[in-house]
Amino acid sequence: MSKQWIEVGSIEDIPALGARVIKTGQGQIAVFKALDGSIFALHNRCPHRQGPLSDGIVHGHKVTCPLHNWVIDLENGKADAPDNGCAPTVPLKVEEGVIFLKM
Ligand code: FES
């Protein structure tokens, strides 16, 4: 089945430096908002041991995992060196303040 844009809510619903969890058929997706208002969507599983990234601390365009402090780049899902791994990102668009994920 081809992927479609799915509406998941308003950017206003996510506080700056916060995250919202969207439950999908492909697992939980964490939608983050950085301090500058940028929005990012990643699978809500740390590449280390599946920690819930949505509970992490957002700083810049990164999130620190709440379990063992790996730092994940919100733009590409990659762990900062020396750690190695990736939380898959999800394509996202914002139209008139509404967030859509391509799932
Ligand atoms: S599960 Fe994220 S750092 Fe260990």
Calculate how far, in angstroms, residue 69's C-alpha sits from the geometric centre of ligand 1: 6
**101 in a structural domain:** no
What is the domain extent for residue 73?
16-96
Condensed to tens digits (0 to 9), the pLDDT of residues 18-59 reads: 999 999 988 999 999 999 999 999 999 999 999 999 999 999
CA neighbours closer than 13 Å in the CB half-sphere of residue 86: 7
In this prediction, residue 2 carries a pLDDT of: 82
What is the tally of structural domains in the chain? Answer: 1
Upper half-sphere CA count for residue 54 (Cβ side, 13 Å): 15
Is position 4 within any domain?
no
Q: Which residue type, as a one-letter code, is found at position 77?
A: G
CATH number at residue 53: 2.102.10.10
Q: How do beta strands 57-59 and 62-64 pair?
A: antiparallel
Within a domain: 102 = no
Atom of ligand 1 nearest to the CA of 56: 2
